[in-house]
Amino acid sequence: MPESTLSAAAPTPLKATGQAAASAAPKNAMQKLLEKLGLQRDIDLALHLPLRYEDETRITRLRDAREGDVIQIEGEVVDCELAYKPRRQLLVKLDDGSDVCTLRFFNFYPNQQKALSAGNRIRARGEVRGGFLGWTMLHPAFKPAVGDLPTALTPVYPTVAGMPQAYLRRAVLGGLARAELSDTFAPGDLSQFNPHALWTLRQALQFLHHPTPDVSLDTLMDHSHPAWQRLKAEELLAQQLSQLQSRRARAELRAPPLAGKVGDTLHARLLAALPFALTGAQQRVGFEIAKDMARHVPMHRLLQGDVGAGKTVVAALSATLCMDAGWQCALMAPTEILAEQHFRKLVSWLEPLGITTAWLIGSQKTKARREALAQIESGEAKLVVGTHAVIQDKVRFQNLALAIIDEQHRFGVAQRLALRSKASLAPGASNTPAPTPALPRAGEGAHSFEPHLLMMTATPIPRTLAMSYYADLDVSTLDELPPGRTPIVTKVVNEARRSEVVQRIRAQIAAGRQVYWVCPLIEESEALDLTNATETHAELSHALQDAAGPGAAKVQVGLLHSRMPVEEKKAVMAGFVAGNTAVLVSTTVIEVGVDVPNASLMVVEHAERFGLSQLHQLRGRVGRGAAASACVLLYSTGDAPRLGETARARLRAMAETNDGFEIARRDLEIRGPGEFLGARQSGDAMLRFADLATDTALLEWARQEAPMMLDRYPHLADKHVQRWLGTKAEFLKA
């Protein structure tokens, strides 16, 4: 509904005092809506900037109007009539002296009808259409023609259902007037960007809320106007400052230094026992991690490496360094299947070396869990592997010093915080041999320990994002795949050629290989998603039963989906890992981390519904052995003649490159940073105004400015961060 139709319906002043209580209710409701918009403080209101503007500063005469123009007209209502054909509508004839325009309303309140009575002078704003019956406007915004025309453009703010623009405008105007807006940096600091237009924060905000009509709307819409430059610089600086503050705050924390021991260590024995030699990249990142862990400041490192790059062994080797120093290590994965795979692998490596590994998941039997908890608390288990269960309240570590989070983007900030807090035992509280060299000295005894944190991800972060969102993070990159991998060939295939794909599966099975077939998860309808997977399972079971050749056993096709009980999921997965199942049909539960080297073909059905990084993760399930591997992306255009543009761009990117970094870069390009991060960093603040893809110069400025400001003007830095990030600032330090 046009906004001034709403404002025309604004409540009339109340007369009886008895109604005062009733009037409080809607106000509270509005307050709630403001909170929902994140508008609590005056400064939040002042920083709530318009989406677009409407020009109510001008009146256009109908005589000068052109078909399709959005204009404001002013005139006298000469007729107001309720018509019922073809449906109930209000037809208002407005005469502006040069011509007559018919305003049509399908929805209207009685008081609006009254405001549009014949004889009233009004201003109406909307798109004007010409035609057989003369000028018309459908559902224009309108108001009584009283008072002067505004001298500034009218802002239209992002809002939520139930919050009228008029109310929001008043609230923002109030916030803007009350907010403390003194500059935290001088306009001149930005002169390299706009030598001619130096704006203070207050000027910039006032202008952006109420720009003068002579401004080029383009520069407002594409955020290139100097006022926008100021705002974006402010925002980027706030973000850099808060990252820097948390980095410095972390430097004040203490962690047990897990210095590398020499001799017959677990680390040395594991290295010797591995069936392969580490790649150069694995050695390098292993060294970076070891160096961090040897310090008495907690490590905060992200290990990024493409799918299949071999992060698990790096994690295991880091864990042995920790255990060699006499401390416990925990590894947390986002799904039970993935956690279990890690558990098996680590146990197979470490049990022969005499290490007890505890296993913790949500669906565990009480007895098993109790035993695991006891082993963790007593320190008998030096390593703990599991899902979110690892961070539950009941879990008490004897002396946790290293926390490893696999597929970290699947976890929220809160969970990372919880894992860190697990180690906060005071130094000396542990009865293990005190790690050398130095524990915190006297006077520093108030410090409690934080564990070292190693996060792992197969979704690399493009450089601009790493610079801004992860300025607080050290990054190690595995940029080399283990040797002997043959590159995966990716084909984008129309659903119409499905039978050819089935033939291809037969060939793989005949060669003794295994195949994944992934069906999409349809979020609106889990049931539909199941039908899809179930049907495909039936279809493939039938079509492939004799694929292993004459006389051979019937080919087994497994089905794995998110609604299955955990035990059943495990059984299906185990069948596939053991090679008893030739084809695994699944919804996206296999998305992360599963490692079955004999699988050489991945088919993704309705690939157009998947995100780019998701597709890349899926593809990474094959190409893990020596056999040539392929990925078939089956797409369907549905009723449309062709795929939408972004879907096409995603599939094209998949066909063109296997490189996870390039995929991430294209993903960022297709989706924009907000969404790119949104899917990954639940809870982290997004940039509202700046655009990392285009505002690289401002970002660079903010990066240089932040440390200088923090050192020279710490109180201004604090003020700046509070102003921009408010209560979120603490949360961002996770």
Site of interaction with ligand ADP (CB under 6 A):
276, 278-279, 282, 305, 307-313, 458, 482, 593, 595, 597, 624
Q: Round to whole Å and give the CA distance between 289 and 317.
A: 10
List the single partner that 276 binds among ligand ADP, Mg ion, none, CB under 5 to 8 Å by kind.
ligand ADP
CA distances from 558 to 571, 598, 634 (A): 10, 16, 20
Q: How far is the CB of 338 from ligand ADP (least distance, A)?
A: 9
| Residue 245 or 279 having the CB closest to ligand ADP | 279
Q: How far is the CB of 482 from Mg ion (least distance, A)?
A: 13
Smallest CA-to-CA distance from 703 within 242, 372, 96 is with 242
List the single partner that 155 binds among ligand ADP, Mg ion, none, CB under 5 to 8 Å by kind.
none
The answer to whether residue 305 forms part of the interface with Mg ion (CB under 5 A) is: no
Question: Count residues contacting Mg ion (CB under 5 A)?
Answer: 1
List the single partner that 278 binds among Mg ion, ligand ADP, none, CB under 5 to 8 Å by kind.
ligand ADP
List the single partner that 282 binds among ligand ADP, Mg ion, none, CB under 5 to 8 Å by kind.
ligand ADP
| Residue 140 or 593 having the CB closest to Mg ion | 593
Q: Round to whole Å and give the CA distance between 314 and 478.
A: 10
Contact 600, 625 (CB under 8 A): yes
- The DSSP bridge pattern shows strands 154-156 and 52-54 to be antiparallel
Q: How far is the CB of 276 from ligand ADP (least distance, A)?
A: 4
Q: Round to whole Å and give the CA distance between 84 and 288.
A: 77
List the single partner that 628 binds among ligand ADP, Mg ion, none, CB under 5 to 8 Å by kind.
none
Residue with the CB atom nearest ligand ADP in the bound state: 310
Contact 254, 296 (CB under 8 A): yes
Dihedral sign for Cα 272, 276, 280, 284, please.
negative
List the single partner that 333 binds among ligand ADP, Mg ion, none, CB under 5 to 8 Å by kind.
none
Among 593, 623, 660, 673, binds Mg ion (CB under 5 A): 593
Q: Which of residues 351-370 bind Mg ion (CB under 5 A)?
A: none
| Residue 220 or 622 having the CB closest to Mg ion | 622
Q: How far is the CB of 445 from ligand ADP (least distance, A)?
A: 40
The enclosing H or E element of 721 equals: helix 714-725
Q: How far is the CB of 624 from Mg ion (least distance, A)?
A: 11
Write down the H helix ranges in 581-695: 612-619, 645-656, 660-671, 673-678
List the single partner that 509 binds among Mg ion, ligand ADP, none, CB under 5 to 8 Å by kind.
none
Contact 227, 58 (CB under 8 A): no
| Residue 71 or 618 having the CB closest to ligand ADP | 618
Smallest CA-to-CA distance from 701 within 243, 208, 229 is with 229
| Residue 210 or 311 having the CB closest to ligand ADP | 311
List the single partner that 309 binds among ligand ADP, Mg ion, none, CB under 5 to 8 Å by kind.
ligand ADP
Q: Round to whole Å and give the CA distance between 135 and 92.
A: 12
Smallest CA-to-CA distance from 454 within 210, 291, 691 is with 291
CA atoms within 13 A on the CB side of 194: 17
First to last CA, the chain: 42
| φ/ψ of residue 297, rounded to 5 | -110, 135
The enclosing H or E element of 137 equals: strand 135-138
Go through 46-75 and write b for each residue having 16 or more CB atoms within 10 A of its CB, e for each that does not.
bbbbbeebbbbbeebebeebeeeeebbbbb
Token code pair at residue 20:
């005062």
| Residue 482 or 579 having the CB closest to ligand ADP | 482
List the single partner that 579 binds among Mg ion, ligand ADP, none, CB under 5 to 8 Å by kind.
none
Dihedral sign for Cα 578, 521, 624, 511, please.
positive
| Residue 267 or 296 having the CB closest to ligand ADP | 267
Q: How far is the CB of 474 from Mg ion (least distance, A)?
A: 20
Q: Round to whole Å and give the CA distance between 666 and 304.
A: 17
Token code pair at residue 374:
């006891």
Q: How far is the CB of 331 from ligand ADP (least distance, A)?
A: 12
> Which region among 206-214, 495-503, 589-597, 664-672 touches Mg ion (by CB under 5 A)?
589-597
| Residue 458 or 560 having the CB closest to ligand ADP | 458
Q: How far is the CB of 310 from Mg ion (least distance, A)?
A: 9
Q: How far is the CB of 617 from Mg ion (least distance, A)?
A: 10
CA distances from 503 to 304, 480, 509, 516, 581 (A): 37, 34, 10, 14, 18
Q: How far is the CB of 286 from ligand ADP (least distance, A)?
A: 11
List the single partner that 555 binds among Mg ion, ligand ADP, none, CB under 5 to 8 Å by kind.
none
> Which region among 60-68, 204-212, 414-422, 591-599 touches Mg ion (by CB under 5 A)?
591-599
Residue with the CB atom nearest Mg ion in the bound state: 593
Q: How far is the CB of 395 from ligand ADP (least distance, A)?
A: 24
| Residue 334 or 593 having the CB closest to ligand ADP | 593
Is residue 425 classed as helix, strand or coil in its secondary structure? coil
Dihedral sign for Cα 186, 190, 191, 192, please.
positive
| Residue 391 or 478 having the CB closest to ligand ADP | 478
| Residue 593 or 623 having the CB closest to Mg ion | 593
| Residue 21 or 272 having the CB closest to ligand ADP | 272
| Residue 277 or 552 having the CB closest to ligand ADP | 277
Q: Round to whole Å and give the CA distance between 83 and 90.
A: 6
Residue with tokens 């608390």: 377
Q: Which residues would be at the binding site for Mg ion (CB under 5 A)?
A: 593
